[in-house]
Amino acid sequence: MKNPNFLIIDSGVGGLSIWQEIQQLIPNSHTCYVADNGAYPYGTLEEQVLVQRLLQLLPELERQYQPDIIVIACNTASTVVLDPLRAQTNTPVIGVVPAIKPAAACSQSKQVTLLATPGTIQRRYIDRLIEDFGNGCRFLRIGSNQLVHEAEQKIRGKPVNRAIIHEVLAPLQDSHTDVLILGCTHFPILLQEIRAAIPAHIRILDSGAAIARRAQQLLIDLPPAEGKTRLPGNLFLFTAETEQAHLLEAGIKHFGFDKIRFFAPNATQFEQKSGAT
């Protein structure tokens, strides 16, 4: 396929860590990246609210942009929405979930830490991943929204609050952890700061490269995109026009997006009060 089109969605800029891996592996791809800032942060939403939001929003985006592949570039969402979403679309959907299996496979101390949003760490989906692939390891689960916020701030060009990172990661220090899973797509954006806050021997894993490989594999069997709407380049959409979103624009352009737009979802009446950024 000449320019495979991706629709990548997250609550904010976290999915850019996934987009970068896809760009690197499939440089001819064109992406419509959706930051659903109208419902940010996903990590504090009730499961049902989040599922409903995405099941309403995605068909609208799909109709408009006709992607070849949809990537739910968010662990918080992927751990609850993949099955119902796949049931309502024929477009291949790739989800991002914490790298439990590779982490458990390479831990020597048999103590792994999962750093994710408060939503993700309490999901049944995670319990099942650990039951199936935990390889006898103990898992310390740390949930943080503050780090999601810090990643957004970093893309706004604001200084990252390193004291918060140290505080959030403090429980890991005495835990004998030798593998840390970044189970939120926002966290690779803070990789440098997280690295500096933990002992050097701890290995850090995220799911980005595996997602890009999966996308590349799926493209092999995709039918030609004849008659479909095509993106001329990379487009970045916000679902709410806010001051905080405008403050992200320079950082997003720096990542390589040609166009930034504000997309007002029609079908989606988002009623739960959210901290839209």
Using CB under 6 A as the binding rule, whether residue 17 contacts ligand DGL is answered as no
Contact 92, 118 (CB under 8 A): no
Name the CA dihedral angle for 153, 164, 198, 154, rounded to a multiple of 10 degrees: 10
Nearest-approach distance from CB 79 to ligand DGL, in angstroms: 8
32, 106, 137, 184: the active-site residue:
184
Segment near ligand DGL (CB under 6 A), from 37-45, 99-107, 194-202, 235-243? 37-45
Q: Which is nearer to ligand DGL, 69 or 182 (CB)?
A: 182
Question: Residue 32 catalytic?
Answer: no
3-state secondary structure of 231: coil
Residue of 40, 139, 257, 270 that binds ligand DGL (CB under 6 A):
40
Residue of 29, 76, 113, 239 that binds ligand DGL (CB under 6 A):
76
| Pairwise CA distance, residues 155 & 177, whole Å | 29
Using CB under 6 A as the binding rule, whether residue 270 contacts ligand DGL is answered as no
Nearest-approach distance from CB 30 to ligand DGL, in angstroms: 22
Question: Residue 137 catalytic?
Answer: no
Using CB under 6 A as the binding rule, whether residue 185 contacts ligand DGL is answered as yes
Q: In what order do the strands lie in the sheet with 179-182?
A: 138-143, 111-116, 179-182, 203-205
Q: Which two tokens stand for residue 120?
A: 């993700």
Q: Which is nearer to ligand DGL, 100 or 229 (CB)?
A: 100
Task: Give, to the nearest 10 degrees, the angle between helix 162-173 and helix 146-155.
Answer: 140
Using CB under 6 A as the binding rule, whether residue 184 contacts ligand DGL is answered as yes
User: What is the pattern of x (binds ligand DGL, CB under 6 A) and - over residues 41-70?
Assistant: xxx---------------------------
Stretch 241-260 residues interacting with ligand DGL (CB under 6 A): none
Contact 125, 100 (CB under 8 A): no
Nearest to 260 by CA among 226, 228, 235, 242: 235
Using CB under 6 A as the binding rule, whether residue 148 contacts ligand DGL is answered as yes
Stretch 188-207 residues interacting with ligand DGL (CB under 6 A): none
Q: What are phi and psi of 218, to 5 degrees?
A: -65, -35
Q: Which is nearer to ligand DGL, 204 or 225 (CB)?
A: 204
| Pairwise CA distance, residues 170 & 15, whole Å | 26
Residue of 10, 150, 193, 206 that binds ligand DGL (CB under 6 A):
10
* Strand runs labelled E in the chain: 5-10, 30-35, 69-72, 93-95, 111-116, 138-143, 179-182, 203-205, 235-238, 259-262
DSSP 37: G
Q: Which is nearer to ligand DGL, 192 or 229 (CB)?
A: 192
Nearest-approach distance from CB 42 to ligand DGL, in angstroms: 4
Q: Which two tokens stand for residue 240?
A: 């709410």
Catalytic residues: 74, 184
Point out which residues bind ligand DGL (CB under 6 A).
10-12, 14, 40-43, 74-76, 117, 120, 148, 184-186
